[in-house]
């Protein structure tokens, strides 16, 4: 597998990473631990060197899973995890410096490592100046407990202010053919500052794989059951996106998921998507996206067609939407 560098940093990783959240959080079920360790090992064998987790996934159990699975390969892989939620006091945010340092110590133990490669603020905390957050991570970097600082779902001004205190290596935010909002302001600033971009939900929470339709139902504990754009009436309207990637996939002898991922890889050389899966065949399928190469005309066709489709439904609901600080 080819590698990419996240912006101007020296952090070189596989051009596609693996999002591990869904293995133990978010989709209503906790996958079999042994099976997930096997999947993570298969990813490593396939050339994946970038793995994404967070303390809040579970909470805690996803970090423990990733730590155990990657222990035999620790020197060969990059592990990203996140801080910023109040896992003890409730569902709120907590990016106070003392909590950041406490989370770092706990994550190090769960991940079975002596250093966190990339430490993201999971969501911007409006009650803590971003300068204080960046300063706390800077301290951890100076102590040798963290290598790189990241942000997630942060807006332009937050990115600039944080970067001025401690260089930001990567921003993680949602980005896909049906959520292109980062292109307007975020991506130009990342390019200006030399910050890498790590898109989560690059397959539109599974929608762009073409495996959903208006009859699809989700478990009540599956977070997608609360996503407005995945409501039955909106799925029907949004199928135009699936029709687009399916049509291109037929011409390119690929799958819709591979087209969606290959499109992201073609945008910038410092973008590394982290599709998640709990199935070995999906892992193989996703990694195959790297073999799909578009001509400039094909990219223009996809871009033009996707812009002409009106997305129906918000990407988050209620309380989740309030935690997106743009």
Picking from 44, 34, 100, 102, the residue whose alpha carbon sits closest to that of residue 65 is 34
Given this model, what pLDDT does residue 214 score?
87
Q: What does the pLDDT look like over 268-303, one tens digit per residue?
A: 999 999 999 999 999 999 999 999 999 999 999 999
Q: What does the pLDDT look like over 188-199, one tens digit per residue?
A: 999 999 999 999
Given this model, what pLDDT does residue 286 score?
98
For residue 113, give both structure tokens: 């490592």
Q: Which domains, ranges and CATH numbers included, belong to the chain?
A: 3-322 (3.20.20.100)
Find out whether 273 and 262 touch, Cβ atoms under 8 Å.
Answer: no
The number of C-alpha atoms within 13 Å of 255 and in the hemisphere containing its C-beta is 20
- In angstroms, the CA 266 to CA 277 distance is 22
Annotated catalytic residue, options 57, 120, 175, 316: 57
- pTM, two decimals, is 0.96
Picking from 16, 11, 9, the residue whose alpha carbon sits closest to that of residue 198 is 16
Q: Is the pLDDT of residue 320 over 80?
A: no
Given this model, what pLDDT does residue 326 score?
46
Residue 27 falls in the annotated catalytic set = no
Query: Residue 138 in 3-state DSSP?
Result: helix
**What number of other Cβ atoms are within 10 A of residue 300's Cβ?**
11
- In angstroms, the CA 119 to CA 79 distance is 9
**How sure is the predictor about 324, in pLDDT bands with cuts at 50, 70 and 90?**
low
| pLDDT average, residue stretch 181-187 | 97
């Amino acid at each position: 597998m080819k590698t990419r560098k996240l912006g101007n940093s020296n952090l070189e990783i596989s051009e596609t990473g693996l999002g591990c959240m869904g293995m133990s959080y978010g989709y209503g079920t906790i996958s079999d631990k042994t099976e997930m360790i096997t999947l993570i090992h298969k990813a490593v064998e396939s050339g994946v060197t970038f793995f994404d987790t967070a303390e809040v996934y579970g909470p805690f159990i996803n970090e423990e899973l990733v730590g155990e699975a990657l222990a035999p390969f620790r020197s060969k892989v990059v592990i990203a995890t996140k801080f910023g939620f109040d896992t003890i006091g409730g569902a709120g945010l907590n990016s106070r410096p003392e909590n950041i340092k406490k989370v770092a110590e706990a994550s190090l133990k769960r991940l079975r490592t002596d250093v966190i490669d990339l430490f993201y603020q999971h969501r911007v905390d409006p009650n803590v100046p971003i300068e204080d957050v960046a300063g706390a991570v800077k301290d951890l970097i100076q102590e040798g407990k963290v290598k790189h600082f990241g942000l997630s779902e942060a807006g332009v001004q937050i990115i600039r202010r944080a970067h001025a205190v401690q260089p930001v290596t990567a921003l993680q935010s949602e980005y896909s053919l049906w959520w292109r909002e980062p292109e307007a302001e975020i991506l130009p600033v990342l390019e200006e500052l030399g910050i890498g971009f790590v898109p989560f939900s690059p397959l539109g929470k599974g929608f762009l794989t073409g495996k959903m339709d208006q009859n699809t139902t989700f478990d009540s504990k599956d977070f997608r059951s609360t996503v407005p754009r995945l409501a039955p009436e909106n799925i029907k309207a949004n199928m135009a996106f699936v029709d687009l990637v399916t049509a291109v996939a037929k011409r390119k002898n690929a799958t819709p998921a591979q087209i969606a991922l290959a499109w992201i890889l073609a945008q910038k050389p410092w973008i590394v998507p982290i599709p998640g899966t709990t199935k070995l065949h999906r892992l193989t399928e996703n990694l195959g996206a790297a073999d799909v190469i578009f001509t400039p005309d094909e990219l223009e066709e996809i871009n033009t067609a996707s812009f002409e489709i009106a997305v129906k439904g918000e990407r988050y609901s209620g309380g989740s939407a309030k935690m997106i600080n743009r």
